[in-house]
Amino acid sequence: MLTRPASIMLVAGSVSIGLVMGFWLGRGGGSLSAQVGGAATASGRNPVAAAEVRRVSQIQQSDVKVYEELAKQYDQFRHVDRMFEQVSKAVAPTVVHIITQKSSRHEEGQKARKFEETGSGVIVRCDKLAGLFVLTNHHVVEGGKSSKIRVYLQDGRALTPERIWSDSMADIAVLKLDRDDLPAARLGDSDNAQVGSWVLALGSPFGLTHSVSQGIISARGRHMDELRDVDNQDFLQTDAAINPGNSGGPLVNMLGEVVGINNSIASNGGGNEGVGFSIPINLARWIMNELIANGHVTRGGLGVELDSTYDYERAVKLGLDRPNGALIGKVHPDSPASRGGVQEGDVILSFGGVSIHDLNHLVNAVSMSPVGRPAEVVVWRDRHELKLRLTVGDRDRALPAELDPSQDAPPDPSGLVRRPNRPGETSNFAMGLEVVTLSTQLAARFGLPDSMHGACVVSVDAESPFVQLCRVNDVIAVINERPVASAEQAVRMLGDDGSHTPLIISIDRLEKGEVERHTIRVPR
């Protein structure tokens, strides 16, 4: 038993020790463990564990520094990121998803094939008539009746257009809406769209409505001979992703202004490969105003045929240092050009005070000129410039009735340039397959041997019995032990012959640079 003095000393000693320890901890002393035997120093007795603790701590500290530096850098970029957000927010409510119900018959007596074509569009206002309109591509609504077209808004509502105007020569269509309470996009000036400037492409790729992709203006003034049904071409080229379903959607600048209507792509497989084409909004707006005001487009014309072989060598021979302008191949008699003094072999360097870059630039400049208005033309003749004055005529009257320039353009044998999600002119259909004859150009493009023949698969319908068996670019080589030489032959052999016997089909497929043959069994 402790005596009273001993108890007092023990209490005093405990208090002193507590005060010392508290003071020590308050000055940053180490932590204490309640474990017996001084477990707090376990790490000191285990150098491996201590090293691991230090390594983890260093990694955490390094991560913190990286993200702190990233945050500092992002502060400088935040306004750019914000711009993309703001442009998307401003334009997205004006972008629509379009579904058109269509039908086609490829052979006489064949049952009409019904299908849907999807695309995009943008709600705009017009200079000629009050109300709201949807600006899109002609090929999106081509062949469809107004009652068979659905226009889906961002909020999910579906509208049916009151009226449709369309112009195939520029691939532009206008749909009249029956309401005036929707947001409309602002139209910019495509002449000011500079190469290298940022743009956004909005639309419904692969049915994924109201998607946004980002890129730049890659080039201007592109002309694609493969699009022989489009006369007015002056495409903006962009690397913003344009895929099936984007056709008709807007290409906008960083002010939220529409500078183009997305139209087509250059692609090996039918999807985006960074080369897309957009109709300049200045051309699209002019076409829209003409359609709404007059019901059709009246284009200006000179009554000439232009030489598409005009190149650097030809220009040098004529005394020019570059192939600017458009070379006249033929002047039709009693035409505006003939009456104005234009001659075969002239190079038109400027029209109406605007320097002409190439053949296509001249076509668009003349087309958009009012009929009956005088225009000053500068031509290159006999190695010097000559000023002429002529009056623009009606294109349909200025050219002979039997002349259709688009008929002279050969089809694209490679299928490189196409409208997204659109059957090719040489396509054939059977059992939900879209196939084309495998040409030498297609074989080279897909890395297949030149000797290979058959029907190349372009698309597979979701309801087709082949949907789990075939892929795009597969080549149907043999059907029921009979070699396939063309798409037409494949369609005939796939057709129902009433026997209900299964089809045994051999397809060639490119896998990792090598051609593999697969045999599939398909019930009829």
Active site residues: 139, 171, 247
Burial level of 233, CB count in 10 A (0-12/13-18/19+)? buried
Q: Kindly state the DSSP code that residue 476 receives in the 8-state scheme.
A: E
Q: Mapping DSSP to helix (H, G, I), strand (E, B) and coil, where does residue 339 land?
A: helix
Give the DSSP letter string of 285-301.
Answer: HHHHHHHHHHSS---EE
**Within 10 A of 165 (CB to CB), how many other CB atoms are there?**
21
On whether the CB atoms of residues 267 and 472 are closer than 8 A, the answer is no
| Token pair belonging to 36 | 């017996």
On whether the CB atoms of residues 484 and 478 are closer than 8 A, the answer is yes
Give CA–CA dist 516/512, Å, rounded: 10
On whether the CB atoms of residues 159 and 181 are closer than 8 A, the answer is no
Q: Which residue type does 195 have?
A: V
Q: Kindly state the DSSP code that residue 481 receives in the 8-state scheme.
A: T
Pairing of strands 186-187, 257-266: parallel
Q: Mapping DSSP to helix (H, G, I), strand (E, B) and coil, where does residue 307 land?
A: coil
Distance of CA 472 to the CA centre of its chain: 19
Residue pointed to by tokens 């000011």: 192
Give CA–CA dist 417/414, Å, rounded: 8
| Token pair belonging to 104 | 């086609």
On whether the CB atoms of residues 434 and 423 are closer than 8 A, the answer is yes
Nearest to residue 389, comparing CAs of 330, 443, 339?
Answer: 339
β-bridge partners, 304? 331
Give CA–CA dist 248/438, Å, rounded: 30
Instruction: Count the alpha carbons within 13 Å of 20 in the hemisphere toward its beta carbon.
Output: 6
Give the DSSP letter string of 355-387.
Answer: E--SHHHHHHHHHTSPTT-EEEEEEEETTEEEE
Burial level of 73, CB count in 10 A (0-12/13-18/19+)? exposed
Q: Which residues of 440-467 are buried (b: 16+ CB within 10 A; e: fewer)?
A: eebbeebebeeebbbbbbbbbeeebbbe
Q: What angle do CA 105, 456, 478 make, to 5 degrees?
A: 100
